[in-house]
């Protein structure tokens, strides 16, 4: 039995196809201007790679900020629920999930059965979101990957007076003019991200195990900085790409529903 999940985010769109609760295909694309175009494209790619058509999919769940605009889904489920579900599937012992998206960040806490206990989201301020990293990488003329690698070599990370992306950007330019080593600036950027994320996570009460989802989870610089800030080990997601956690959760909801409530 095939089921699918589609997560349409502000920057990337993700699709996951499952067969009997196992992932057979997943695709990540850059989001288009219109959410339904993103959804059609990413799901179309996943289906063709899996050698399937939409009619083979018994049930499909949509999530992400553009979820209500997806034409082919049977139902839409909140990002929070999908990320919780996906993270628990990836790391069964997880209790706290920190998800950093392109334009938002969220932290959520699950009980031992995977029920949502508490969550918090920020989509009002660019600080602590993927956007912050993107802006900084652009000023530093580095790719997001380089930003993570660079910071590992820093001896004296810079600090920012304020969390605001606008002020931090001005600080970075000032540091560049003052010939501060790029790795120290990069490390400062990652620390600033981590500090903002840990505020969010501490807000909901941190509980082990902790894992990170979303594209930023692939940035070692940020993950290491966050571990330091929280003083806790973060379980790395290795089973799948952490960026597709939301789509996995959506596909799991779809599987469950199609199976009459069981996975």
On whether the CB atoms of residues 14 and 32 are closer than 8 A, the answer is no
Residue 126 binds another protein, judged by CB under 8 A: yes
Residue closer to another protein, measured from CB, 109 or 131: 131
Query: What are the start-end ranges of the E strands in the chain?
Result: 2-8, 12-19, 22-30, 57-63, 75-76, 96-100, 105-110, 116-122, 210-213, 234-235
Pairing of strands 116-122, 210-213: unpaired
Residue closer to another protein, measured from CB, 129 or 151: 129
On whether the CB atoms of residues 89 and 252 are closer than 8 A, the answer is yes
Residue 121 binds another protein, judged by CB under 8 A: no
Window 155-174: residues binding another protein (CB under 8 A): 162-167
Which residue from 73, 135, 147, 250 is in contact with another protein, where contact means CB under 8 A? 135
- The nearest distance, CB 122 to another protein, in angstroms, is 10
Residue 131 binds another protein, judged by CB under 8 A: yes
- The nearest distance, CB 46 to another protein, in angstroms, is 28
Which residue from 45, 52, 116, 125 is in contact with another protein, where contact means CB under 8 A? 125
Looking at 17-25, 128-136, 237-245, 247-255, which segment touches another protein (CB under 8 A)? 128-136
DSSP 3-state of 6: strand
Window 60-119: residues binding another protein (CB under 8 A): 103
Angle between helices 130-140 and 144-151 (to 10 degrees): 80
Instruction: Provide the 10 A C-beta neighbour count for residue 187.
Output: 24
Interface residue list for another protein (CB under 8 A): 103, 124-126, 131-132, 135, 162-167
């Amino acid at each position: 039995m095939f089921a699918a999940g589609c997560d349409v985010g502000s920057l990337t769109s993700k699709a996951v196809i499952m067969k009997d609760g196992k992932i057979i295909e997943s695709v990540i694309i850059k989001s288009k201007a219109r959410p339904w175009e993103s959804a059609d494209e990413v799901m179309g790619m996943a289906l063709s790679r899996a050698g399937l058509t939409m009619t083979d999919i018994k049930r499909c769940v949509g999530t992400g900020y553009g979820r209500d605009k997806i034409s082919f889904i049977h139902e839409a489920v909140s990002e929070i629920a999908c990320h919780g579900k996906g993270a628990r599937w990836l790391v069964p012992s997880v209790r706290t999930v920190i998800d950093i998206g392109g334009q938002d960040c969220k932290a959520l806490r699950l009980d031992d059965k995977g029920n949502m206990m508490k969550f918090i989201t920020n989509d009002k301020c660019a600080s602590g979101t993927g956007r912050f990293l993107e802006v900084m990488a652009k000023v530093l003329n580095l790719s997001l990957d380089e930003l993570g690698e660079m910071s590992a070599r820093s001896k004296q990370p810079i600090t920012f007076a304020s969390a605001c992306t606008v002020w931090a950007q001005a600080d970075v330019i000032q540091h560049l003019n003052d010939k501060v080593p790029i790795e120290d600036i990069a490390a400062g950027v990652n620390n600033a991200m981590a500090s903002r994320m840990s505020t969010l996570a501490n807000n909901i009460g941190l509980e082990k195990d902790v894992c990170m989802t979303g594209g930023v989870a692939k940035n070692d610089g940020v993950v290491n900085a966050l571990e330091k800030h929280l003083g806790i080990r973060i379980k790395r997601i290795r089973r799948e790409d952490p960026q597709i956690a939301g789509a996995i959760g959506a596909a799991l909801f779809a599987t469950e529903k199609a199976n009459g409530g069981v996975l």
